[in-house]
Structure 1
Amino acid sequence: MKKDRRRVPCKKEDIVKVVPKIIEGKRNLNIYVTEDAMEVYIDISYEPYIEYEIEDMEPQHELFITGKIKHKSIKKFTREEIEKSLREKILFMELKRRNRKGNRWGQIPCC
């Protein structure tokens, strides 16, 4: 498939294929716990899912294809997802802290 951003003559028998762009969304959740586990910093950012469509236009001699947003959405983190990530991070930091203090085998005491 040829992509050309210049003006190109087209004939009746030419087939022009236009594929609207889709931008996949992203969700980012970063958690930082200080070494003493006394402070927690959470950074949440979103990049929306965007789907474009071709805009209709009146017939004319020259065709300039333009697009518009057909669908835009952001799936936000739920409270439960944030709490789960936070618990996992704090548990990991606690295990790491115990290992540093820990016994000579690097094992974590059970009870």
Structure 2
Amino acid sequence: MMGSDSDLPALEGCFKVLKALDIPFEAKITSAHRIPEATHAYVKDAEARGCACFIAAAGLAAHLAGTVAGLTLRPVIGVPMAAGPLNGFDALLSTVQMPGGIPVACVA
């Protein structure tokens, strides 16, 4: 999952590795802020279809990983994206400083 289509080029390497390992995956652009209902529906639908793990990439406030983690018991990997005037530092802090009970693994 990614917060914006501008995140897509940075995730191409991830897609290549998943393909090389024959791990099925989907790429979905969604937003914790702009379309929260669609994000919630996608997570629940993906769970129902057997999704084993979520990778959530987002920049700036980077609330996507935390939103997903609040909706599922499946593992969530947050990927802070370089964006904005802080070049991703804000996204990194948003991803590693989740509130208690919202487990997100951070990979940068």
TM-score category (smaller protein)? under 0.3
Which structure is higher in helix share?
2
Q: Which has the larger radius of gyration?
A: 1
